[in-house]
Each structure stands twice: as C-alpha cells, then as structure tokens.
Structure 1
Amino acid sequence: MSDPLIIALDGMGGDGAPDIVVRGAAIARERLPQARFLLFGKSELLEPLVAKEEILKDCLEIRHTDQVVTGDDKPSYALRYLKESSMRKAIDAVHDKEAHCCVSAGNTGALMALAMFGLRTLPGVSRPAICSFFPTRKGETCMLDLGANVECGADNLVQFAVMGEVFARTVMGIAKPTVGLLNIGTEDLKGRDEIRLAAAMLRQSALPINFAGFVEGDGITAGVVDVVVTDGFTGNVALKTAEGMSRLISGFLREAFQSSLPAKIGYLFARRAVAKLRYRVDPRRYNGAVLLGLNGIAVKSHGGTDDIGFANAISVAADMYLQGFIEKMKVDFETLAGEGTAVDASATTGVAS
C-alpha cells in the first residue's frame, strides 16, 4: 500500500460549491486510491452530499466551519475577519502538516493573500506567481504569471522561469522543458528593459534551464516552448483573450451547424470530429492554476468549473506533492541565490546590468 496522500479541500469555494467539490473528490479518489481528504465547510451542507458518495466513506473527514470567503470579499477583509473560513482552514491544514496540499475554487485574490500569509514564500522567492496550462498544437504548455503580479522586474521574471521549469518537469513530465520570455518580438533589441535584462540573466545562469529566448503571442498556442514567462498583467490579458476566443469559436461552430437543414445533416457526419475538437479545448482538462513560490502546495480551481474540472485540479495538487515539487524548487533557488544577480553588460544588448 502507498503512503496516504492527504488533501485539504475548501468545500465552500466556487460557483457550484459544495456539490462540485464533493463529487470532484469522489472522481479524484478513483484516480488516486491512496488519497484522503480533509473537507472544510458547513457540515449541514456537506454531510448529505458526502453520504451519497460511497467511495468517500472511509477516506474523508468533514471539519465544520461557519465562515465562507465569497467572491466579493477583498483579500484584506478575508485576512482580518475570516480566520475561521473554509478557505483559511484548508491552507492552515497544509501549514500545520495535517495535509500535503490544498485545493480551492474560491476567490483568487483572497486565496493568494491567505496562502502567502499562511504558507509564506520559499527562500529566494520575492513574489509568488499563478501558473496554469494552455492547449497547443504540440500538446500543452504552462504559462506564468497569470495575474498575481501586475508589474515585475527582471529578478521576478527569472524567478518565474525557475518556478515554471520545475513545474513543467514535475507535473507535466517534460524531462528538459524549454523556457521562453513573452515579448513583442523575438529579436534581442525588442521589449522592455526588464525583459531583456531577464533574458541576459537566464542566458548566463548556471541553472539547468533550457532557455529558448523570446516568444511572441502566437507562439503560446503554437507550442514554441514548454514554459512561457511574463508579468501578471500581460499573462492575465493573454489568458482571458484565449478563453474568450475559445468561446467565440465554439459559438461560431454551433451557429454554423444550426444554420440550415444540410448543415444539421452534415453535423451528423462530423460529430465525432467535433467531439474530438471539443475534448482538445475543454477547459476542464486544463483546470488547476497553481500558486507557485509558496512554501506549500495550493491549487486554485476555476470558480465556474464542474466536478470533472475540480477533480483535475485535485490531480494537479497531488502530482506536485508526489513528484517532490517543493523540494526541487528549493534546490534551484539555492543555486540562484548562490549566483547573485550580476550580469555581463555586453550580454544585455544595451540594458544596464
């Protein structure tokens, strides 16, 4: 028997909570027979749902709490006044070594604030980042930061590159992932000073990072690199644009197939291909944004996902723990700290080191 994997769940976070959380835990349990769950939330709502899932009978413990972080709560309010919330208690379980990781579909800003306060950052990390998956022509790529840090310096971008490279190795299973900096062009002279300085730092670093240079926006979905690094403002805009484009194309396809009787008949012949396309771009497959840089594993599920998407977020958290993500991050940041931040001025192409 494998050692138990204990996962703390925010039972009240997300649009479909607590139903999708409990059903998601049941799906995840089928995939992870060694998993055990600590479920935080209002017991009067959780107990009837858990009772319906036979697979959770001997592997889930409900811990009652009355407080809930809502989607409208500001991070500062959650920190000061919601210390007994289901979200805070799930994070505290990781801090107290009762759980190996935690998952929440709740308020992103509040989760980031509570996780930073409860888990702290790893040595050498000045700011945590939000990382998630993108579907590409070649498979999948991960991208960070997706909104935690609006403005970033060169040091922050280098740290994000380290985080993303370790994430790609441990969670995505890529032996030697390529890393690129998102920029307005691939030429060395393009982009802001901090982006060019970060590129120079990565090129001269002794870290085991396969740095591929700059990547343009269309290179994200083309799968040019395995890890795309950018600031939180740009990353969040790119993410929301991609989500909106996916919905737009899906809507166009639906309208096209419903536009006439021949089109509807054509759909009957094309439905297998359409189902394959729908599977490739299904956001539930890529659900599970990770808060990287923390001294503990915290995964943010999309608030509007269903039970399958939430189960996938649980799987991401489990993979991070089982593959020793935190330990590998510490090793790379120790190497980065030993190097300092000195950069040869000639390598920055006009940017002062």
Structure 2
Amino acid sequence: MNANTRLDVIAFEQRPLKQPHRDTLETCSLEQLRDVQLRRLRWSLKHAWRNVPWYRQQFEAMGLHPEQLEHLTDLARFPFIGNAELHHHYPFSLFAVPARQVVRLHACQDGSARSPVIGYTRNDQEVWAALVARSLRVAGAHAGERLYALGSHDGASAGLQLGAERLHCALLPLAARGAQEQVRLLCDFQPQLLVASPAQLLALAPELERQGVSLPGLSLRSVLLGPQPCSHSLRQELEQRLGVQTLALYGVPALMDPGIGMQCPQTRDGVTLWEDHFYPEVIDPHSGTPLPDGQFGEVVLTTLSREAVPMIRYRTGEIGRLLPGTTHSMRRLERLTGRDAAPLRQSA
C-alpha cells in the first residue's frame, strides 16, 4: 500500500462524528404542526383518490371528494380501511405508484396465506430512515454506538438498519437461534441498546440469570420494546430481572414498523407519535365515531406522506387513547393490553 492509498488511521479516529440535526418539524409549535398536517392530509387524500381505484370508489360512494377536507376534523367523514381490505386487494391493487417507482417490498406476516404487501418508494424509504433515526435518538442512541436486535431479519430489522445508518450507529446483523447464543453475542459485542419484543426478553432472562450476566455490566443502557404493547406489570418484571430501563418503540406492520412513535426516557408517559407523518384518531370500535382526546377506543392512523401505499384511516385494532404532548408538541399514545383492552375489543 503506497502513501496515496494508505488510510490515515490516527486522523480518521480523531475526526468527530457528526450527530444528525433534529428536523424542524420535530420541535415545531402545535400551530405549525396542525398546518403541516392539514396540508399533508389534503395531499394524501388526493394522491389516494387519483391513483388507487378502490379509494376513488369508496369516496364517490359516500359522495366525498378530497377537496371537501377543509379542516382536520373533516377526516372523520372519510371511509376506513382495515386488514380485510388489505387481504382482498393482495398483492398490489392498493399501490398508488407504478412498479418502477417501488424500491422495497415487505410482507406483513400475519399467518395468512396472502399476507398484505407494503411497498416503499425511494422517498418513502428516506422518510422511514429519518423517523427511525429520530426514534433511536429520542431513546438515547448516539453516533458511533451499537444496537442489537434480537430475532430474525424482517421488515422491522430493515427499518432499524436504515435508521441506525442515518444516525451513524451500527446495527449488529446477527440472528442467533437460541438464548445461550444470544447471551454470548451480547457479551462479545456489548451494544448500548437492545431491540426486542417482550416475549424475546422473557426467553432471554433465564439464560442471563443462569450465566450470571448483568446487562448494565455490558454497557447496555436501554431495551426498546416493540411492536406489541407491553403491560405495566410485565415491564416492571422485565426491568427488575434485567436491570435496565425499557422503552416502547412503536410501529404498525401495515404502515411502518418501527418509526411511528417512541417513548421518551425522560417522562416514560406513553409513546410520542410522529404526527408530522401519521395523523392519529381514536374511535368507538363499535360505531366508528371519533372520540375526544383522553378517551379509550380503537386507534386509527392515516399516512400523511406515504407515496407507494397511502393508508386513509387504517384501523389498527389496538386500544388506546391520545394525550397532550409533554416533551414534544405531538400527542402521546397510551395503549391498553390484555384484560384492560378486552371489553372495548369485544364491543366492536
């Protein structure tokens, strides 16, 4: 290797890592946020109406046109979409762009023979990377750190990879098969953040205890839980056994997973929703009537910037309520699990 091609290791190691700046919308005022939401919602409705025949048919059957959306509350007049429609229009009938503009495809694994397919344009992928990076940074990740995701590679792993790269972090691409191997990898690579589901952590805890391995002793600061909601009692158990803080990393497979919201470690008072790209509603699961903030009901999300597969009023099937923002102007989502959510689900 000659002098012209030799890497100057010392200069490289001393070069400071630049932390990506917060985008202006993350810290905007509530008034600015509502203005952005209205403009993007109008675009999303028009985009779906012009390019997805099913949406046009649904709108026209209800005597609606995107131009009739004058206020955010007018969204309640438009039809819902749910998993039944996603299955019926498998695989590409709900796509709003030609195939040549789709750069990524993911199947939402729901156990069915025809799992819904979600696509991303290049711009969709950029938004995904930015929102996952925002979530990881809010969770406390810094440039140069390592993240370890338990489990196999899937759509969520792809999103984590995009976000980690945007934040200048390294996602360890390791899909171990058993708890013993997972513990070994944690000891070898010592990540600062771990991404896992509650079930994966429950399976890992006994092996950590058997080997006498302390996660804080490995420099691990936090565990990001997703995508399923985790009860308060289970989170307490996990934190007591693992010795680290857990935070909710929110995503919905049919929309974006992860990247829709993140729990802030300073307050841990629900998931802050990234409302500049997803407009949230809570409805009565039986009548479909919108409920005011603070009341529990079914969570409904509308994409505000999605090009490939716009989703207008997607019924998530989750039970939760919207609360005012604390660390951000964007609202928080508190989700119910198990017995607490069962009565509302049964009323649908």
- TM-score where L is the length of structure 2: 0.31
- TM-score where L is the length of structure 1: 0.30
Query: Higher relative contact order at CA 8 Å, sep ≥6: structure 1 or structure 2?
Result: 1
Please state which structure has a larger fraction of its residues in strand: 2
